[in-house]
Amino acid sequence: MSTRRDAVRQTLSESSGFRSAQDLYADLRADGSKIGLTTVYRALQALSDSGEIDVLRNDDGEAVYRACGTESHHHHLVCRVCGTAVEIEGPTVESWAAETGAKHGFTDVTHTVEVFGTCPRCSS
Amino acid sequence: MSTRRDAVRQTLSESSGFRSAQDLYADLRADGSKIGLTTVYRALQALSDSGEIDVLRNDDGEAVYRACGTESHHHHLVCRVCGTAVEIEGPTVESWAAETGAKHGFTDVTHTVEVFGTCPRCSS
DNA sequence: CGCGTTTTGACAATCATTTTCGTTTTCGGC
DNA sequence: GCCGAAAACGAAAATGATTGTCAAAACGCG
């Protein structure tokens, strides 16, 4: 059965930015769902395990999730006011990270990149 | 008075990688200090406020700190096995982030970049 | 319709971090 | 050296996100 998981996935997809678990839970309840907080966490974990969504931590240490349009490796440009995220790609960064890692003798190099700013709508 | 703060700073400086607050606290107590956990947190907060140390979150949502050799903007290449961090610079990335943000109309663009890998010592 | 399996959700437990609050220490005068 | 205000301490309680527990409910299936 995956009704609940789908509900979580859908709610997340309808959002344009990163959402916290608590946040999504509130949304779901507001929509009349009788879903429990535990289930929201389980759904989010399952979704991130299967690679359907991205997880990262905000500065408060809260886990935030996002359903991405593409499954390939990419980064985000996030508005620090409204949270809206734009998916971006940076071949430049990819290769720079790989080279830098290699230069120091590191192997299995991975990286995380997040770009923050104020989006046009929020800055006006 | 800043004896305690100095003790925290020093313990942090002696470490080569990112350390968590709990971790540092354990170290200090092990060294015979009667410092309290509260004070460790206060010291770390004060140090990060003054820009003397870097803070970021690990995947567990725990805050980790690091005393950096330079105060200018830079990033880290962190060994995922032993935690050792190398300070790195990436002019390429800096400008890429700025350009990408601007291209989408974002203002006040900042970014976070962390590169992970396995260091030479740990991979052998 | 029963039966074993899976999913759910209320509630308790965890754990890092923060607050609270009374006590101790530091310091600039005197 | 001594005094009082202000800053620093630290123990213990509070907080808040996340996870674990476990019994009840929904499902698939014969």
Of B100 and A68, more confident: B100
Model pLDDT, residue B124: 79
Q: A108, B97: Cβ pair inside 8 Å?
A: no
pLDDT, mean over chain B: 88
pLDDT for A2 beyond 70: no
What's the pLDDT tens digit per position in B24-79? Answer: 999 999 998 889 999 999 999 999 988 888 888 988 899 999 887 776 788 889 88
pTM, 2 dp: 0.83
Structure tokens at B4: 């305690």
Do the Cβ atoms of A67 and A10 come closer than 8 Å? no
Distance from CA of B32 to the nearest CA of A (A): 30
3-state class (DSSP) for residue B117: strand
Mean pLDDT, residues A85-102: 91
| pLDDT of B8 | 92
In contact, A66 and A75? CB cutoff 8 Å: no
Q: From the CA of B58 to the C1' of D15: give the distance in Å.
A: 21
Spatial distance from the CA of A68 to the C1' of C6 (Å): 29
Which protein residues have Cβ within 7 A of any strand D atom?
A 1, 20-22, 37-38, 41, 45, 62-63; B 1-5, 34-39, 42-43, 61
Dist. CA B96–CA A92, nearest whole Å? 7
**DSSP states of A45-101:** HHHHHTTSEEEEE-TTS-EEEEE-S--SS-EEEEETTT-BEEEE--HHHHHHHHHHH
